[in-house]
Amino acid sequence: MPISGDVYKELGRAAAGAVSVVAAYRNPGSSILALTVSSFATLSFDPPLVMFAIQHNADSYTAMVESKGFGVSLLSIEQSDVAQLFASKGHAKNQNTMFEAGQVVAVPLIPKALAHIECSTSQVVVSGDHAIIIGLVEAARTSQRRPLLYFARQYGSFDPIQSP
């Protein structure tokens, strides 16, 4: 028998994760859809694949599942306000001026992020109340910025443990 929803929510709070914004164009050159996720993960080295999970009741669900490509912006510690904005509902967050264009794939990216990943959609796996969207990485760039993390419903930073 599966665990209760309350226990599952506790698990979610205990799982610290990096925070990203995933974004796509509804059609090339048209309006943008974007949301904050902590489910982004690298998946495969060869071929280079990444993934994230999107909940069925997200407003962007259908368009994101049907999109041919998506951009992932791994947020930096200075971007908790960006994370909050893209975790909200409504069209205010999806203005073109908030994004820059991908260099190889037509995907929207958040400026000044820790890393940018440009993907073509490779596979969509519907599982439970989420879809796992898998992308082939066509281009990627990282910076020396520090990551934004999410734990116990709070944003924070990464502190390495000092070696004795």
Pick from 81, 159, 75, 78: nearest CA to 109: 75
Residue range at the interface with ligand FMN (CB under 6 A); choices 72-80, 81-89, 106-114, 136-144: 81-89
**Using the rule CB under 6 A, is 154 a contact of ligand FMN?**
no
DSSP designation for 3: P
Binding status of residue 60 toward ligand FMN by CB under 6 A: yes
| SS3 state of residue 124 | strand
| Residue 62 in the binding site for ligand FMN (CB under 6 A) | no
DSSP string, the chain: -PPPHHHHHHHHHH--EE-EEEEEESSTTS-EEEEEES--EEEETTTTEEEEEEETTSTTHHHHHH-SEEEEEEPBGGGHHHHHHHTS-SSGGG-GGG-EE-SSSS-EE-TT-SEEEEEEEEEEEEETTEEEEEEEEEEEEE-SPPBPEEETTEEE---PPPP-
> Per-residue contact track with ligand FMN, 2 to 41, x per CB under 6 A?
-----------------x---------------xxxxx--
| Closer Cβ to ligand FMN, 54 or 109, answer by number | 54
Per-residue x/- track, 84-103, ligand FMN (CB under 6 A):
---xxx--------------
Which among 4-12, 71-79, 82-90, 97-105 is the span making contact with ligand FMN, rule CB under 6 A?
A: 82-90
Question: Given the complex with ligand FMN, which of 36 and 79 has the nearer CB atom?
Answer: 36
Residue 128 CB, shortest distance to ligand FMN, in Å, is 12
Site of interaction with ligand FMN (CB under 6 A) = 19, 35-39, 52-55, 58-60, 83, 87-89, 150
